[in-house]
Amino acid sequence: MPPSQDPFYAGLGQAVRIGTELLAALIVGGGIGWVVDTYLLATGPWGMVSGLILGSVAGVRNAYRSAQRWPKS
């Protein structure tokens, strides 16, 4: 069963992708902010706050980008 021809599997594959796409960017953004706060500059919570905001923006952007590749059914 080659699922690439099956619209159900292709759609399911796309749907499974987007959730982790959002999460991963948030982890990376928050992580970078945390590292900047604790090790590089003593900027209180602000590095992590802005990192989380940038991360969520990047996550939405990634999700949007992968939705643009949506297979035509």
Partner 1 sequence: MEDSPLHPFELHNFLSIHLGGLDISLNKAVIMMWVVVGLVTILMIKAGSARQLIPGKLQSLGEILVDFIRGIILDTMGKDGMRFFPLIATLFLFILFCNLIGLIPGSYTVTSQIVVTAVFACVVYGMSVVMGFVLHGAKFLGILVPPGTPGWLLPLMVPIELISQLARPISLAVRLFANMTAGHVILGVLFGLAVSGGLLIGWLPFAFTIAMNGLEVGIAFIQAYIFTVLTCVYLGDAFHLHGSEDHAH
Question: Which residues bind to partner 1, rule: CB under 8 A?
Answer: 2-4, 9, 12-13, 16-17, 20-21, 23-25, 27-29, 32, 54-55, 57-59, 61-62, 68-69, 71-72
Helix, strand, coil percent content, the chain, rounded in steps of 5? 80, 0, 20
Closer to partner 1 by Cβ: residue 13 or 45: 13
Distance CA 51, CA 31 (A): 8
Which of 55, 59, 58 shows the shortest CA–CA distance to 34? Answer: 55
- Work out how close the CB of 37 gets to partner 1 at its nearest, in angstroms, rounded to a whole number: 15
- Work out how close the CB of 47 gets to partner 1 at its nearest, in angstroms, rounded to a whole number: 12
